[in-house]
Structure 1
Amino acid sequence: MASTSVSRVVPATAERVWSLIGGFHALPDWLPYIPESTALEGGSVRRLRNPEGDVIVERLVNANDQERHYSYAILEAPFPVTGYLSTLRVFEIPGKPDSAEIVWSGRFVPQGVSDAEAVELFTGIYHDGLEALHKTLVG
């Protein structure tokens, strides 16, 4: 099993960040790579489509609005991994009420690629996603 984690501090309160990213179907609101999210199975599954038309299907595993995090598993995707589980978290920064830290982490079993290649892929996805989030927040 391989894993990776990326964090980013943004100039916004944890509440503001969570209000933007905390909804399981909110990816199109802040992640240009995912312009479409369709709720399935009463909202516990999301069917995502990227600009190239690839489909990614993910299931919400757990969520906690109070603690500002949710975890999800990939059910179907064009990625060379299985057993994918990821968590998106927002933390308050003590002494900095107008800043928050976002941590996006995941673990997975590479299939047909090395651990390093799979880690590089998801590290890039998380990094680019958090960069897009920062741009959305600062306008």
Structure 2
Amino acid sequence: MASTSVSRVVPATPEQVWELIGGFHSLPDWLPYIPESTPLEGGRARELHNADGEVIVERMEGFSNRERHYTYSILRAPFPVRGYLSTLRVHDVPSEPGAAEVEWTGRFTPDGVSDEEAAELFTGIYREGLEALHHTLAG
């Protein structure tokens, strides 16, 4: 099993960040490479379409509005992994009242690639995603 984690301090309060990213179907609001999210299973799952037209189906596995995080699994995707589980979490930054730290973590079993290659793939996705979030919030 492999894992990765990326975090980034962004220029908004934790409440403002969670308002933007806390909805399970809100990825198109801040992630340019995911222009479409279609709710499935009564909203518990989502079908994402990336900019290349590939389809990714994910299911929410856990959610806490109070603690500002959600966990999801991938049911179908063009990625060389299985058993994918990821959490997106917003933290307070005590020394910076107008900022929040966003942490995106994942663990997965590589399928046809090394642990390092799989971790590098998702590290890049998370890093680009948090950069896009920073850009959206900095507006």
Q: Normalising TM by the smaller chain, what interval? A: over 0.9
Q: Distance in 1 between matches of 2:12 and 2:53?
A: 32
Q: Deviations over 1:23-44 (max 9, x none)?
A: 0000000000100000011100
Q: 1:95 offset after TM fit, Å?
A: 3.0
Is 1:125 the equivalent of 2:125? yes
AA partner of residue 98 (structure 1): G
Is 1:69 the equivalent of 2:69? yes
AA partner of residue 57 (structure 2): V
Q: Distance in 2 between matches of 1:95 and 1:31?
A: 27
Note the residue ranges of structure 2 that are not aligned, 5 or more in a row: none
Q: Distance in 2 between matches of 1:127 and 1:41?
A: 29
Note the residue ranges of structure 1 that are not aligned, 5 or more in a row: none
Give the equivalent residue in structure 2 for 1:106.
106
Q: Deviations over 1:7-59 (max 9, x none)?
A: 00011100000000000000000000100000011100000001111000000
Q: Distance in 1 between matches of 2:11 and 2:23?
A: 20
CA RMSD after TM alignment: 0.5
Q: Distance in 1 between matches of 2:50 and 2:32?
A: 9
Q: State the TM-score, normalized to the length of structure 2.
A: 0.99
AA partner of residue 104 (structure 1): W
Give the equivalent residue in structure 2 for 1:116.
116
Q: 1:97 offset after TM fit, Å?
A: 1.2
Q: How does 1:1-139 map to 2 (within 5 A)?
A: 1-139=1-139
Q: Distance in 1 between matches of 2:58 and 2:77?
A: 9
Query: What's the secondary structure of 1:19's corresponding residue?
Result: helix
Q: 1:125 offset after TM fit, Å?
A: 0.1
Give aligned pairs, total: 139
Q: Distance in 2 between matches of 1:10 and 1:95?
A: 13
Q: State the TM-score, normalized to the length of structure 1.
A: 0.99
